[in-house]
Amino acid sequence: MKHFLDIDKTSVAELHGMIADAKAIKNARNGRPRGAPDDDLPLKDNMVALIFEKPSTRTRVSFDVGVRQMGGQTMVLSGSEMQLGHGETVADTARVLSRYVDLIMIRTFEEATLLEMAEHATVPVINGLTNRTHPCQIMADILTFEEHRGPIAGKKVVWCGDGNNVFASFAHAAGQFGFDLVFSGPEPLDPEMGFVEQARAKGVSVEIDRDPARAVAGADLVVTDTWVSMHDAPSARERRHNQLRPYQVNEELMRHANPDALFMHCLPAHRNEEATNGVMDGPNSVIFDEAENRLHAQKAIMRWCLTP
């Protein structure tokens, strides 16, 4: 079963293949109306379940549009409205859904839910974000970087802010795509060291630098994300804001990066918190290309999942 659970669980060759495929899929549409099908319909006659236990705009819409363009049909399911949210086990949900649909995408809280779904489903499962990782986002980000700047291998990527699920998938990607990564954030919000060590073991440099100006020196890409993720306790908001304020990505900080350094944010953003409007809407920002590329990257991921 070809599940897409995390970037570190997929081979380097397959990851490169998906990025190449995403570029080809994007180019092939060439301005076609959004509601028009692709020439190639790898999801023809396929039914896809999109399960959300957390809110979503990009993941929901990009998967839905992508499936339809590839000839399939979708159903968007809210976790709380399924029996899953009322005591049915994840394993039974996986077994039942596998009798109706050909592919499952799930956005959930605990990684264990995703893994249990994958273990018991007899159709491919895609990780649409857990508390720990967000691989589809980073596949779109790699596609976006490479469209603007060429191969990401050997480049320097600097993450400013919370060591969260999106950072974790960047660390997975650093190891697989071969770029160097710097984390700059407050110690209490450090990423799990396992992500850092795993990337280092694959031969890339992953540093932690508490000084954001020094961290972004020579950066080819500066990335940030919300200071409070969907799984974080609302009561932690004020403390997190106080801890993370020094790591805001603003025009002054970007002056320390390479002049052509790109800026990325997976969105949704809290403007003028983790990044200023000047940076988000500035000439080096590619945030809306990232959002668009969710569509193309995920079409490549789904095609990979369904190709024997």
254 lies in the site for ligand NVA, by CB under 6 A: no
Q: Is the peptide bond before 212 cis (omega within 30 degrees of 0)?
A: no
DSSP 156-188: EEEEES---HHHHHHHHHHHHHT-EEEEES-GG
59 lies in the site for ligand CP, by CB under 6 A: yes
Closer Cβ to ligand NVA, 97 or 129, answer by number: 129
Binding-site size, ligand CP (CB under 6 A): 9
Could you tell me if 71 and 37 are in contact, meaning their C-beta atoms sit under 8 angstroms apart? yes
- What is the pattern of x (binds ligand CP, CB under 6 A) and - over residues 99-138? ------------------------------x-------x-
What residues contact residue 300 under an 8 Å CB cut-off, 6+ apart?
Answer: 18, 19, 21, 22, 25, 139
**Sheet with 262-265, edge to edge strand ranges:** 206-208, 180-184, 156-160, 221-224, 262-265
Among positions 146-165, residues that touch ligand NVA (CB under 6 A) are 164-165
Place of tokens 């280092």: 200
**Sheet with 73-78, edge to edge strand ranges:** 73-78, 47-52, 103-107, 125-127
Query: Which of 3, 58, 68, 107 is the catalytic position?
Result: 107
- Cβ atoms within 10 Å of 176's Cβ, excluding its own: 22
Query: Which of 136, 160, 266, 305 is the catalytic position?
Result: 266
Closer Cβ to ligand NVA, 133 or 176, answer by number: 133
166 lies in the site for ligand NVA, by CB under 6 A: yes
The residue within the footprint of ligand NVA, chosen from 46, 226, 248, 298 (CB under 6 A), is: 226
Residues in touch with ligand CP (CB under 6 A): 56-59, 129, 137, 266-268
Q: Which residues are catalytic?
A: 107, 134, 137, 225, 266, 294
Residues in touch with ligand NVA (CB under 6 A): 129, 164-166, 225-226, 229-230, 266
